[in-house]
């Protein structure tokens, strides 16, 4: 069986480095969505340092809701908040203008299910970096797999390598930010950081 990964909301560079190691990947859809996870939040660099952007969710069956059934909540206008934060942080990045319209479309497309939202994001990033990976979903929950990345802590795992970030007043490279940081700062040549 192909390696099993969690889904991610504009996952970290390290997340995409791990995905890029495989030609086929299976996303977990039958588990119960853990709290405080990168499945619905991303880290970007802001003027005050790392900033967490969280997408609100609805779980129709409470904590027993399977990932495939988790809904995106639009009770607040979080897409606008996230978009404004991205513009504030990355408007001066070299490739922001090149990808801004695509990212804006993804953010403001009202997806009903979290898994569909994250899948569209992942496909977009894989397409930009020309990574032909076959993506599928688990049918039912299994406690473990031979190659299991579901419990990898991509919010603390550091990526391999460095690139030029928009660093504001801090001078230190931050290896745990969203792949959007790489996309806006390096554009298509960021592929060399992924593979």
Per-residue pLDDT reduced to its tens digit, 113-172: 999 999 999 999 999 999 999 999 999 998 889 889 998 888 777 777 888 887 655 567
Please check whether residue 6 is in contact with residue 41, taking contact to mean a CB–CB distance below 8 angstroms: no
Q: Reply yes or no on whether the pLDDT at 66 is more than 60.
A: yes
- Res 56: pLDDT: 96
Average pLDDT of span 57-82: 95
- Res 170: pLDDT: 59
**Percent of the chain's residues with pLDDT above 70:** 97
Report the SS3 class of residue 110: coil
Beta bridge partners of 24: 134
Number of domains in the chain: 1
Q: Which of 4-8, 42-46, 70-74 is predicted least confidently?
A: 42-46
- Res 171: pLDDT: 66
Confidence of residue 37 (pLDDT cuts 50, 70, 90): confident
- Res 163: pLDDT: 85
Give the domain range for residue 154.
Answer: 4-194
- Res 6: pLDDT: 95
Length of the chain measured in residues: 195
- Res 167: pLDDT: 62
Average pLDDT of span 73-86: 97
């Amino acid at each position: 069986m192909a390696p099993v990964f969690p889904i991610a909301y504009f996952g970290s560079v390290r997340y995409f480095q791990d995905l890029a190691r495989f030609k086929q990947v299976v996303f977990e859809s039958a588990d119960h969505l853990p709290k405080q996870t990168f499945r619905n939040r991303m880290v970007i660099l802001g003027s005050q340092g790392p900033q967490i952007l969280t997408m609100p969710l609805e779980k129709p069956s409470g904590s027993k809701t399977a990932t495939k059934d988790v809904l995106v909540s639009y009770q607040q206008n979080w897409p606008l908040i996230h978009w404004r934060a991205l513009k504030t942080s990355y408007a001066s990045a070299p490739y922001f203008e090149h990808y801004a319209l695509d990212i804006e479309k993804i953010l403001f497309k009202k997806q009903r299910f979290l898994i569909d939202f994250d899948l569209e994001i992942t496909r977009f990033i894989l397409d930009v970096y020309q990574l032909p990976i076959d993506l599928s979903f688990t049918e039912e929950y299994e406690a473990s797999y031979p190659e299991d990345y579901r419990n990898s802590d991509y919010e603390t795992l550091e990526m391999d390598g460095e690139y030029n970030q928009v660093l504001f007043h801090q001078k230190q490279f931050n290896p745990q930010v969203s792949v959007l940081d790489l996309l806006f700062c390096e554009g298509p040549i960021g592929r060399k950081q992924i593979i």
